[in-house]
Amino acid sequence: MLTAKQQQLLRYIKEHLDRGGVSPSFEEMKEALDLKSKSGIHRLISALEERGFIRRLANRARALEIVKLPEGMVPATSAGVGEGVVTPLLRKPAAVPARATPIAANDVVEIPLHGRIAAGLPIEALEDRTMLAVPAALLGAGDHYALEVSGDSMVEAGIFDGDFALIQRTDVARDGQIVVALIDESEATLKYLHHEGRKIRLDPANRDYQPQIYDAGQVRIQGRLAGLLRRYN
């Protein structure tokens, strides 16, 4: 079941593709749904993608495909997006064939920038003091936040002091993934995750640092690395 806003956005994307063959920009979608920020559009897009109604083509910020339409809804070509018109169907619609979408200019979304990863505070305790504009192509499905990297413990993974780590919120991760791990509910760190029985090993990516080993109950996963942003002065 889709929310009213999700249905409106799906219908708007479909009509935009049908008219010009190019998916709308985040700015166009924000204005069409009368939202205040692009982050709201990003959440709607992620929800539609997770439910299998749309698909984002890799490395193309504005390349959206309609995979299927929900039962009981077809695009209201004669109605505005905000009217929320739903047309009943006599049968379940077939999946819409995938189409090649031209590459367009990058869209950006805004995600919370919580602070420096070595700040020694739980992620939940950090205030959303500012937002960071991020190319949408760097983010996949789900909710994201950013942390500024402090230190050189992950340099061999290409993560340097001052980089912005783009983190997908999750409390689960596989061995070998780079995660934000909260230790003893007090200190957050960015490290490779490994399970060893009832222990958790957090590995740095710098041979000058030693792995950190904790009881499983001491460690809580708060996200996994989705991408990086780097400033060049």
To the query of whether residue 191 is one of the catalytic residues in this protein, the response is yes
> Which residue is catalytic, options 39, 153, 186, 199?
153
> Which residue is catalytic, options 14, 30, 38, 191?
191
A 10 A CB-CB count for 226 gives 21
Dihedral of the alpha carbons of 7, 12, 13, 18, in degrees to the nearest 10: 130
State the Cα–Cα distance between residues 170 and 221, nearest whole angstrom: 7
- Residue holding tokens 């990297």? 149
For the annotated catalytic residues, the residue numbers are 153, 191
